[in-house]
Amino acid sequence: MRRILANRTYRHLFLAQMIALIGTGLATVALGLLAYDLAGADAGAVLGTALAIKMVAYVGVAPVATALAERLPRRALLVCLDLVRAGVVVLLPFVTQVWEVYLLIFVLQSASAAFTPTFQATIPDVLTDEADYTRALSLSRLAYDLESLVSPMLAAALLTVIGFHDLFAGTAVGFLGSAALVGAITLPASRPTEGQGMVDRATRGLRIFGATPRLRGLLALNLAIAAAGAMVIVNTVVLVQAEFGHGQRATAMALAGFGAGSMIAALLLPRLLDGISDRAAMIGGAAMLVAGLFGGCLVAGLDVVLALWFVLGLGYSLAQTPSGRLLRRSSHPEDRPPLFAAQFMLSHACWLITYPVAGWLGAMAGMSATFAVLGGIAAVAVLVAIRQWPAGDPVEIEHVHQTLAPDHPHLTGAAPAGAGHRHRHAYVIDSHHPEWPRMA
């Protein structure tokens, strides 16, 4: 880890991410408490709707924003988006109506939908070695876990001396700190693919996703991850405060338990991935999520919630953290921004399904039924992932080109094979390889 943090550019990016996420974690706690303040026992439904609106912004904005961002300076874009997010979050403490929460969440998350894929696609351009990038993914996961661990603990401490509305100020400080750190470094220039229109650029990542078996498996795993994550994010406050009668600090500690499990898994992953495949780690983690969700049907008190949230945190990190390696392995550098945007959009489309299920089903049918339904969704998703993502998933694939001219530069060193030419290399979907080859 020390080696990648010695890289000044990456160090600034990591610190920017960490500071922004601590602030975002404070906002996550505050938003749940704001929903409870406005709607009481119906907080789960309000929060589920607000988070569904967040997902609509992510799904609708990310591909278009990324296509536009290819033509803009990365540093200036990221700094401006951080400033927009800071400005919006300052307004949240002043809302008095539920619809105002919905509106501000949409604006805030539209900015995030442009920021996050651009940020994520920058990291593999900064750290070009795969081992370094794997460590960066684990550090990134740890930074995200600060939202679930350090931020709730900090929130619990702050709530003893301030009101929850004041927690939003911490979020604004986080975004401003992120903007300052990103503005202090030089980022690699984006490498847009020439000769493509807006529609082609906006849909390129989706086309790569649909044609790559390991990415189709990732899409299914995204749904399992979203099922467990939605249960935790939407219904923790309802379980802890409405059903078991505990206070705000207990809610923060339950969220911290989820973050602790996720952080431990992230710390173990670099060494774990030296011995097992990404597929084994991710499907194993998703299976833990399925078991945890079905186990939640029997939850009977705060102690059980804390233990269960810890297990779900472990599975969540195992299933999600290696996804960046799959995206990097499945694309050329110039295709990474649209592919990361596609992952951002598709993963949040899954959350768009599971957030309302967690919120509205919890309000209407109770927690046990909600655990069971989300567990069923996750189980089906894992089975689809196993089927779509073959166990034998080589990076290099031998294949035949039958449409390229014999003197095409891509065929240098290829051997004649019938009406085409055969060669072997790391296979990704691009203009020369529009389809995945059939495996023997």
What are the structural domain ranges in the chain? 2-187+197-388
Q: What is the pLDDT of residue 231?
A: 92
| Residues whose CB falls within 8 Å of the CB of residue 404, separated by 6 or more in sequence, listed in order | 410, 411, 420, 421, 432
Alpha-carbon distance 174 to 190, whole Å? 26
User: Residues in the chain with pLDDT < 70?
Assistant: 1, 25, 28, 32, 35, 37, 39-44, 48, 51, 62-71, 141-165, 189-202, 439-440
CATH of 2-187+197-388, one of 3.30.70.890, 1.20.1250.20, 3.30.450.40, 2.60.120.10: 1.20.1250.20
Q: What is the DSSP letter of 397?
A: E
Angle, vertex CA 345, rays to CA 376 and CA 8, nearest 5: 115
Alpha-carbon distance 169 to 39, whole Å? 22
Q: What is the pLDDT of residue 378?
A: 97
Q: What is the pLDDT of residue 365?
A: 87
Q: What is the pLDDT of residue 98?
A: 74
Alpha carbons within 13 A on the beta-carbon side of 50: 27
Q: What is the pLDDT of residue 277?
A: 92
Contacts of 330-333 with CB under 8 Å at 24 or more apart are 330/208, 330/212, 330/214, 330/215, 330/428, 330/429, 331/208, 331/428, 331/429, 332/428, 332/430, 333/124, 333/125, 333/191
Q: What is the pLDDT of residue 425?
A: 87
Tell me which residue has tokens 């996420």. Answer: 21
Sheet holding 396-401, edge to edge: 396-401, 420-426, 415-417
Q: How many helices (H) and strands (E) would you count in the chain?
A: 17, 3
Q: What are the pLDDT digits (tens) for 333-369?
A: 777 777 887 888 888 889 888 988 998 898 888 889 9
Q: What is the pLDDT of residue 195?
A: 47
Alpha carbons within 13 A on the beta-carbon side of 161: 4
Q: What is the pLDDT of residue 116?
A: 78
Alpha carbons within 13 A on the beta-carbon side of 380: 8
Q: Classify residue 69 by burial, with Cβ atoms within 10 Å: 0-12, 13-18, 19+.
A: buried
Instruction: Put residue 412 in one of left, alpha, beta given phi > 0 → left and psi -120 to 50 → alpha.
Output: beta
Q: What is the pLDDT of residue 70?
A: 65
